């Protein structure tokens, strides 16, 4: 059972990258694009590797969820980012 929903993971990753880029949105989007591509490549290789040693296993699901969460990072909009900041400030 995952500790967080994929959407929440994606939002947190996006916010961390945005923060590390000091609010420079074009730079953050470039980092996110590279991150998404790297994670997709790594996940695809790991799934192929896992398929050679197991047929039905939670690890396969975990990697699939990782790919979904990574894909969501690239779809986050400014409104989602603003909502995440507002929600965080309320906590």
Query: Domain boundaries in the chain?
Result: 6-86
What SS3 string covers 13-76? HHHHHHHHCCCCHHHHHHHHHHHHHHHHHHHHHHHHHHHHHCCCCHHHHHHHHHHHHHHHHCCC
Which pair of structure tokens corresponds to residue 16? 């961390």
Cα–Cα dist 29/16, whole Å:
12
User: Residue 35: which of 7, 74, 64 has the closest Cα?
Assistant: 74
Q: What is the pTM of this model?
A: 0.59
- Give the model confidence (pLDDT) of 1-53 as tens digits: 457 787 788 888 888 998 999 989 899 989 988 988 888 888 788 777 777 77
């Amino acid at each position: 059972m995952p500790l967080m929903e994929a959407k929440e993971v994606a939002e947190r990753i996006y916010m961390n990258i945005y923060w590390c880029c000091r609010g420079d949105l074009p730079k953050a989007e470039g980092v996110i694009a590279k991150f998404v591509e790297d994670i997709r490549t790594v996940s695809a290789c790991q799934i192929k590797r896992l398929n050679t040693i197991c047929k039905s296993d939670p690890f396969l699901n975990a990697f699939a969820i990782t790919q979904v969460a990574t894909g969501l990072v690239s779809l986050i909009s400014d409104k989602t980012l603003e909502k995440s900041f507002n929600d965080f400030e309320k906590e």
